[in-house]
């Protein structure tokens, strides 16, 4: 298989396989959550579930002062990573054209220089996270194979995309193919690891807040 055949495969059959696994996996995981059910609360409601749930989504998205003081590096790297990933995925012109081909939707892209800078920030942030995890005795003890897999499948699309855009190391078609393949690996892994929080984080925050609201407790 030459580089063009490889690129065509990852853009065709490989993408189809990854998409099927990704969509099926996400649907199954979400169904699992709802099928777990929720026991009927026989106590009288003392507050609004909806209002408390929505408030919790907002409040839990902003770190407490005490949390920042205790784990400033974790908070900062978390914000930098999520912002850089969101911007690179959603506002990079080639990605927008891909989404347009799939969904028909289109929106303006950010300047390439901004996306490129945020890609570098994302790469550096992930390296800092890994170094800290490996150098901290407690974090290293708590780290398992899934944590390392999640780190790798998040890091790989960023670094391969950066190298492909700057035409570094390998030829253009090969590097682009590797980048697409790394994204497909991320798609396959996401539903079955902690990365599933992409789809459940706001749901879980709302649910926790709703329970507190029903009981009349500040969440």
Task: Give the C-alpha separation, 211 to 213, whole Å.
Answer: 5
Among 35-39, 80-84, 88-92, the least confident range: 35-39
Confidence class of residue 93 from pLDDT cuts 50, 70 and 90?
Answer: very high
CB contact at 8 A, 189 and 149: yes
Q: What is the pTM of this model?
A: 0.84
pLDDT digits (tens, 9 = 90+) for 187-196: 999 999 999 9
Residues in the chain: 219
Q: Which uninterrupted H or E stretch holds 170?
A: none
Confidence class of residue 112 from pLDDT cuts 50, 70 and 90?
Answer: very high
In this model, does residue 214 exceed pLDDT 60? no
pLDDT digits (tens, 9 = 90+) for 139-179: 899 999 999 999 999 999 999 999 999 988 888 889 999 99
């Amino acid at each position: 298989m030459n580089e063009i055949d490889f690129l065509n495969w990852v853009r065709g059959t490989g993408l189809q396989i990854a998409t099927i696994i990704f969509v099926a996996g996400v649907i199954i995981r979400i169904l699992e959550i709802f099928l777990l059910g929720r026991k009927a609360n026989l106590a009288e409601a003392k507050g609004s579930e909806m209002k408390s749930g929505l408030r919790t989504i907002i409040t839990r998205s902003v770190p407490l002062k005490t949390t920042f003081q205790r784990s400033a590096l974790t908070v900062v790297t978390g914000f930098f990573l999520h912002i850089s990933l969101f911007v690179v995925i959603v506002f990079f012109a080639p990605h927008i054209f891909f989404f347009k081909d799939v969904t028909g939707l289109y929106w303006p892209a950010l300047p390439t220089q901004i996306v490129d800078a945020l890609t570098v920030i994302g790469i550096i942030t992930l390296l800092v996270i890994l170094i800290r995890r490996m150098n901290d005795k407690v974090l290293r003890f708590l780290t398992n194979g899934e944590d390392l897999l999640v780190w790798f499948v998040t890091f790989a699309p960023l670094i391969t995309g950066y190298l492909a855009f700057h035409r570094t190391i390998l030829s253009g078609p090969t590097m682009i193919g590797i980048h697409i393949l790394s994204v497909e690996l991320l798609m396959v892994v996401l539903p079955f690891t902690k990365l599933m929080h992409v789809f459940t984080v706001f749901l879980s925050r709302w649910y926790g807040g709703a329970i507190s609201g029903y009981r009349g407790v500040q969440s």
